[in-house]
Amino acid sequence: MDFGNSVSPIFRYGRSEPRFPNNAITEASANISEFGDKTRVRINFQRKVLDNKGITMEVEQIDDPGFYQTFFSKVDKAVFLGKENLQ
């Protein structure tokens, strides 16, 4: 029985259950270093899409400047509150 190329191999032989996106995780990697009397923070975010079995289906770099602006705004606020002992 030939299903042609339009059907995913997942369904072709009936052995596997279908895969579908089920969850997304945002991961970060950061580098924090001293820069004179200041602190330099470099961070990268990526989004992983996991299927219904927990297997990674897709990984993409987050490039949205607004995402990073929001992150650093929250870091800036936390640093300020820490300096003022308001936490």
Q: What pLDDT, on the 0 to 100 scale, is given for residue 13? A: 52
| Among candidate residues 62, 67, 46, 54, the one with its CA nearest the CA of residue 23 | 54
Q: Which residues contact 1 (CB under 8 A, 6 or more apart)?
A: none
Check residue 5 and give its pLDDT.
47
pTM: 0.66
Domain-by-domain residue ranges, the chain?
A: 19-83
Q: Quick check: 12 pLDDT over 90?
A: no
**How confident is residue 4, by pLDDT bands cut at 50, 70 and 90?**
very low
| CA 17 to centroid of chain Cα atoms | 26
